[in-house]
Every structure is written in structure tokens, then in C-alpha cells.
Amino acid sequence: MELKIVYEDNHLISVIKECGIPVMKDSSGDYDLQNMIKDHLKNKYKKPGNVFLGIVHRLDRPVGGVMLFAKTSKAASRLSDQIRKGEWKKKYLAVIEGFPLERSGTFEDHIIKDSENNKVAVTEMSVDGAKKATLNYKVILKNRKRAIVEIDLKTGRSHQIRVQFSSRGFPIVNDFKYNPLNLKKKGDIALWSHSIELIHPVTCKPLCLSADMPGNMAELFLN
């Protein structure tokens, strides 16, 4: 599989993750993005032995889009610190069933993860283990059945976007875990990591990384 590189320097590498590829090795044993990038770096720079690649954020396996990795431990540490402080701006695009009445707004919930079944649910704040989840959304396009929304993610919880939209009756198209309308389990989930804005951990200059939503995903809006 061809690695699609968005940005690369001595400290960072940004790539487009394809839908369905795990970010790191999992129980499936499938070729994962981390090892794909490591192999690229090893071949490009003729590096012997193990290659360092720091994972500082993740995408759900079904989800595609732009991601950023650290090529040094120093960069990884500084990027992780930025994320902890909420300094990254991450935007997603999604095709959803239906559309909210308000063209823009905020979803704020408390969610809890069932690790055994790898599924998340909206719950009450008082429930032990519940974590706050917040996002802003804006409707970009809509028709009678579906909408394309831009999502400004404020907290990076597992499955957050998927469960927050589904719980309000606007599940993401082709989300087989949270969309009851997708029973055939065919096609990529219509959720895409569109852009990441951050401060470069070494040069301290603003860095914006982006990847357009694939045409086949955008076309789901018309179906």
C-alpha cells in the first residue's frame, strides 16, 4: 500500500491514514500504519535496526484522514504536552443521517467506554468512569436526508464523534457500530480527519496539516 505523505522533516512526519488500517499493531495482525511508516523511514534513510516513531494521537481503525507522528522522542514529548494542554486544533468532516435544526452548535456529554465490547455510550456525569466529551459542529451542506458537517473536536475521547452524533439521532453514514441504518456493513465510514493545527515542537512555527475528504466519501451525501 502506498504511503501518502502530507509533511515530513527531521522531527515530524504527517501522513494520510486510509480507512480500515489500524494505527498500531492489534489482535488482527494486519499491517499497521506505524510499521508502514517505520518501513518507509528505514528504507528512505537506510537506517539499521529499529526505527523510532512516536504515536501522539490516534484515529479509530475505520476512520481515515490526516495524522501526525514524531520521529524523535523530544518531538513526541513536546507534542504530547501540547495535546494535554489542549493546544491542537483538530477538525473532522462527516456525512451524517439527517441534520441538526441549528446550523452550528456544541455537543457536550459525558461518555463511558465498555472496553470488553469496544463500545462507548453517553451516560450521566455521576457514573463512575464517565468522561466529559465536547465538540463544536457546523453544517456545511444538507439535503432532505443527509448533511456534511465540519467538526471542531475539543476533547479526544474514544469514539467520541461517532457516539455524540448517534445519540442525537444523526449517526454517521456507514458507521456499523453506532448507526442502526447500516446493516449491510459495506463501505468506509463517512468520518474523516480533515486538519490539524499546532505549533512545531522544534521550530515553534505554526503548522497546518490537512487532507481533503475522498470523493467516494463525499458522494455518500448524495445517496
Residues 6+ apart with CB under 8 A from 66: 6, 14, 15, 16, 17, 193, 194, 195, 196, 209, 210, 211
Instruction: Convert the pLDDT of each residue in 45-80 to its tens digit.
Output: 988 888 999 999 999 999 999 999 999 999 999 999
Rounded CA separation 114/119 (Å):
5
Confidence of residue 181 (pLDDT cuts 50, 70, 90): confident
Residues 6+ apart with CB under 8 A from 132: 108, 109, 110, 125, 155
Right CATH number for 5-221 from 3.30.9.10, 3.10.20.30, 3.30.2350.10, 3.20.20.70? 3.30.2350.10
60 as an active site residue: the answer is yes
> Does pTM surpass 0.75?
yes
Cβ–Cβ under 8 Å, residues 191 and 170: no
Catalytic residue among 60, 109, 175, 188: 60
Instruction: Convert the pLDDT of each residue in 4-46 to its tens digit.
Output: 999 999 999 999 999 999 999 888 888 999 999 999 999 999 8
